[in-house]
Structure 1
Amino acid sequence: MSLTAQVKQEIVGVSPGSNQARAAQVSSILRFAGALQMISHRYIIEAELDSEQLALRLGREIGALYGIRARLGRASAAKPGQMSYFVRVLEQGDTLARQTGLMDSRGRIVRGIPNKLALGRADILAAIWRGAFMASGTLSDPGRSASLEVACPNRETAMALVGAGGRLGIEAKAREVRGVNRVIVRDVDAINAMLAAIGAKQVLAEWEQQRQRKETRATANRLVNFDDANLRRSAQAAVTACARVERAFEILGDDVPEHLRYAGELRLKYREASLDELGQRADPPMTKDAVAGRVRRLLSLADRQAGEQGIPGTAEGVAEHEELD
C-alpha cells in the first residue's frame, strides 16, 4: 500500500473533535472532491472519492450534522483496477451548499474556503487540511524530492489552504503544475508537522524511519565514494612517484647519494604503501615527511642533471608509464 493510501486510511478514522471542526472537515472534503451543479433547476452536490470508507464517513457526517440524506454508490473507474466512489446529494443541495460554504447567502458560488473556517481555531484548520488530504492529497516517499501535496480546484482555494497551513505554523506553497493548482509542503520538518496535525501519527513514524534509513544509506554511500576517490588518488600518486624514481635511477646511474637511493628503493619495493607506511618500514624508521623529502631531492637531483645533459627528466617516466597503461 502506498504512503498516500496509508495516510488516508489512518486519518479517515480520526475524530475532528467539536461539531465546528467536523463541519469544517465535511466542507473541505466537498470543496476538494466535490462539484456543485444545477440539473433540472435544482442544485446537486456530488463528491467523488477513492475510498469506500471515506464515502461512508462523509455520508454519515452529512446526515448527522445537517439532517440531509446523501446517496452513496460506486463511480466509473478512471483507470483500470482503480475503485472510485461517489457521495451525491439530490435533495436540498442548495441548503447543504450554503451550510458548508460552497455557496453564499445570495446564492453565489464560493470559489475559496469560507473565511469563518480559514480563520478558525487550530482544530478547525487541522480539519480543513485533513479533509483536503483525504479528498485529493498525496504523500511521496522520503528523499530529496519528498513532498506532501494537495490538488486544488482553483487558485483561490489553494491560497486559502496555504493560509490555513501558515496559521498552523506550517509553511506550504501554492503552485500551478500542468494546469492544476497545487499546494505543496516540501520541508521535512513541515511534512512531519502536517502529518501530526491531521492525525497520521502511525504513518509519520514510518515515514520518519524510512527517511532516516535513506539518509544513513546516502551518507554511507558518500563516504564510500569519498574513500574510493582518496584511494584512487593515493594509488595514482604512488604509481607516478615510482615511475619518476625509476627514471631518476636511469639518469643518475651510480651517482646517487646513498640516503637518497635508500628512499627511492624503499618507494619501489613497496609500491602501494603510503608515505607513512614507507617510513615505518625504513630501518631505522623515518617520518613520512622525511621519506617524502628524500624522494623529492632524488627527483630534483635527477632533473637537474638531465637538464645539463639535454635529456628528458623524470617526468618522462610518468609519460611512458601512462602509455603502457
Structure 2
Amino acid sequence: MSFSGNVKEELAAHWTKARHCQIAELAALISMCGAVAIDSRDKLCIKIHTENIAVARKCFTLIRKTFNIRTDIAIRRNLKKDSVSYYVVVRNHEDAQKILQATKMMGDDLFTVNHIVVQQTCCKRAFLRGAFLAAGSMSDPNKSYHFEIVCNGREVAEKLQQMICGFSMDAKIVQRKKNYVVYLKEGAQIVDMLNIMEAHISLMELENVRILKEMRNTVNRKVNCETANINKTVSAAVKQVEDIRYIQKTIGLDKLTEGLEEMALVRLGNPDATLKELGELLSPPVGKSGVNHRLRKISEIAEETKESKKGKEELL
C-alpha cells in the first residue's frame, strides 16, 4: 500500500469521542465526496462515493454512531479501470434531513443555504481529517513532499485553505482542469498537517524519512565540500610544481634564497604532500602559513621570470 493509503487507513481507524467532532468529520466527507439528491416527490437522499473501503466503512460507522441511522452500501466494479467504487447511501428522507441539518449543510426549508462553519479547533481538525479521507492524497516522502486535497469548486477550496492557514501553515491553491487543489509542499508543514489530523503513526514514519534524507544531504554536502577542497589543493600543488620546474629550467633553483630553494626541492620531491606535511619536512620545521608564504613567493618569482623573458623576446 502507498504512503497515502497508509495515512487514510490510520485516519479511518481514528475515532473521536465528541459528537460535534464526529459531525464535523462527516460534514467534510459529505461535502467533498458526497451528493444530495431530491427526487420528484421532494424527498432527500444522500450518496457518499469513495474507492477506499476504509473510508466507506468510516462513513457507515459515523452515520450509525452519531445519528443511529443505518445506511445501504453499494459496490460497483469498473473492469476497464480495474477499480472498485463504494457508495454509502441514506435513502430515508427524514434520516437525510436529520444529517444535513446537523452538519449545517441545509436550512430548515430543506434547501442548502451555506457551507460548513466549524468554530472549535477540535472540529476543524476533524473536518480536515474528513476532507483528506474524502479527496486527499500524499506523495511518497522518499521521493518528494506533496500533500493535497481536491475540491470541486473555488469557494470550497478557499474555505479549506483558510482553515489550514489558521493552523499557521501556508496552503496554496492551484486549478487542475475543473477542480481546485489545496496543497502543501513543505515537509515540515506536512508533518504539522498529519499531527493536526491526528495521524501520529504516519507522522513518525514521515519524520524518520525526513531525518534520513537530511543526514544524506549533510553527508553529500560534506563530501562535495571535501572534494572541492581536494581539487583546489591538487590544482595548487600542480601549479607550484610547474612554477618550480620553470625556474629550474630558466634561472636555476640556486638563484633562489636558501629557504626558498629548500622549499622548492621539498615540493618537487613531494608533489602530493599537504602544506602541513611539507612544513614538517623542512629543517627546521615550518608551519602551514610559512610554507604557503614561501610557495607564493616562488610563484611570484616564476611569474616575474616569465614577464622578463617575454620582454626580452619582444625587444629582439
* Bucket of the pairwise TM-score, normalised by the shorter protein: 0.7 to 0.9
Flag the 1:6–1:262 CA change in 2: closer, same or farther, 3 A: same
**Partner deviation per Cα, 1:181-239 (whole Å, 9 max, x = no partner):** 12223444432232122221111111111111111111111111111111111111111
Shift, 1:252, TM fit: 0.8
**Separation in 2 of the partners of 1:299 and 1:58?**
79
**Partner deviation per Cα, 1:131-190 (whole Å, 9 max, x = no partner):** 1111111223337952322111212222222333344x2424241232321222344443
2:90–2:96 Cα contact (<8 Å) kept: no
Q: TM-score, normalised by structure 2?
A: 0.86
Residue 103 (structure 2) aligns with: 100
Q: TM-score, normalised by structure 1?
A: 0.84
Moved more, 185-194 or 28-37: 185-194
Residue 212 (structure 2) aligns with: 213
Residue 175 (structure 1) aligns with: 173
Residue 259 (structure 2) aligns with: 259
Structural mapping, 1:278-289, within 5 Å: 278-289=278-289
* Letter matched to residue 241 of structure 1: Q
* Letter matched to residue 204 of structure 1: L
SS state at 1:12 partner: helix
**Separation in 1 of the partners of 2:148 and 2:31?**
16
Measured on the aligned residues, the alpha-carbon RMSD in Å equals: 2.7
1:248–1:303 Cα contact (<8 Å) kept: no
Q: Which segments of 5 or more consecutive residues in structure 1 lack a partner in the other structure?
A: 314-325
2:187–2:210 Cα contact (<8 Å) kept: no
**Separation in 2 of the partners of 1:60 and 1:292?**
77
Residue 114 (structure 1) aligns with: 116
Residue 6 (structure 2) aligns with: 6
**Separation in 1 of the partners of 2:171 and 2:309?**
73
Residue 296 (structure 1) aligns with: 296
SS state at 2:272 partner: coil
Moved more, 253-262 or 19-28: 253-262
Q: Which segments of 5 or more consecutive residues in structure 2 lack a partner in the other structure?
A: none
SS state at 2:255 partner: coil
Residue 268 (structure 1) aligns with: 268
**Separation in 2 of the partners of 1:50 and 1:17?**
26
Shift, 1:276, TM fit: 1.9
**Separation in 1 of the partners of 2:312 and 2:219?**
45
1:249–1:256 Cα contact (<8 Å) kept: no
* Letter matched to residue 245 of structure 1: I
